[in-house]
Amino acid sequence: MAHAQDRRTGGMLAGPGLAFPASLVVLLIIVAPMLMLLVGSFQVAAPGAVAHAGFTLQSYRRFFTDPFYLKIFGDTVWVSALCTGLALVLGFPVAYFLARTRSRYKSLLIILLVFPLLVGNVVRAAGWMIILGNAGAINALLTWLGLIGQPLRLLYTPAAVVVGTTGVVLPYFILTLQSVLEGIDFSVEEAAQNLGASFFTTFLRVILPISAPGVAAGTVLVFILCMNAYATPVLLGGTGLTMMAPALYDQITKASDWAFGSALAWILVIATLLMALLSHWLINRRYVKTMAA
Chain segment 82-124, per-residue pLDDT in tens = 999 999 999 999 998 888 888 888 888 888 888 888 888 888 8
Give the phi and the psi of residue 51 in degrees, each rounded to 5: 180, 160
Do the Cβ atoms of 169 and 85 come closer than 8 Å?
Answer: no
| 26 has pLDDT over 60 | yes
Q: Mean pLDDT throughout 147-156? A: 85
The maximal CA–CA distance of the chain, rounded, in angstroms, is 87
Q: Is 8 within the bounds of a domain?
A: no
Q: Mean pLDDT throughout 227-248? A: 89
In the structure, what pLDDT confidence band is assigned to residue 15 with cuts at 50, 70 and 90?
low
* pTM summary value: 0.82
The neighbour count for residue 119, using CB atoms within 10 Å, is: 12
For residue 105, the model assigns a pLDDT of 84
Give the phi and the psi of residue 52 in degrees, each rounded to 5: -95, 150
Domain range enclosing 103: 58-292
Give the span between the Cα atoms of 100 and 83, in whole angstroms.
25
In the structure, what pLDDT confidence band is assigned to residue 2 with cuts at 50, 70 and 90?
very low
Q: Is 213 within the bounds of a domain?
A: yes
Number of alpha carbons in the 13 Å side-chain half-sphere of residue 252: 16
Q: Is 52 within the bounds of a domain?
A: no
| 21 has pLDDT over 80 | no
Q: What is the pLDDT of residues 46-87, one digit of tens each?
A: 665 555 666 788 889 999 999 999 999 999 999 999 999 999
Q: Is 15 within the bounds of a domain?
A: no
What does the mean pLDDT of the chain come to? 82
Q: Is 43 within the bounds of a domain?
A: no
Give the span between the Cα atoms of 243 and 233, in whole angstroms.
7
Q: What is the pLDDT of residues 172-228, one digit of tens each?
A: 999 888 888 887 777 777 787 777 777 778 777 778 778 888 888 888 889 999 999
Instruction: Please tell me the total count of domains within the chain.
Output: 1
In the structure, what pLDDT confidence band is assigned to residue 292 with cuts at 50, 70 and 90?
low
Q: Is 2 within the bounds of a domain?
A: no
Do the Cβ atoms of 238 and 155 come closer than 8 Å?
Answer: yes
For residue 8, the model assigns a pLDDT of 54
Task: List, in order, residues 6 or more apart from 139 with CB less than 8 Å away.
Answer: 133, 148, 151, 152, 154
For residue 46, the model assigns a pLDDT of 63
Q: Is 154 within the bounds of a domain?
A: yes
CATH number of domain containing 217:
1.10.3720.10
Give the span between the Cα atoms of 85 and 271, in whole angstroms.
18
For residue 87, the model assigns a pLDDT of 94
Q: Is 97 within the bounds of a domain?
A: yes
Q: What is the pLDDT of residues 259-282, one digit of tens each?
A: 888 899 999 999 988 888 887 777
Q: Mean pLDDT throughout 230-248? A: 89
For residue 288, the model assigns a pLDDT of 59
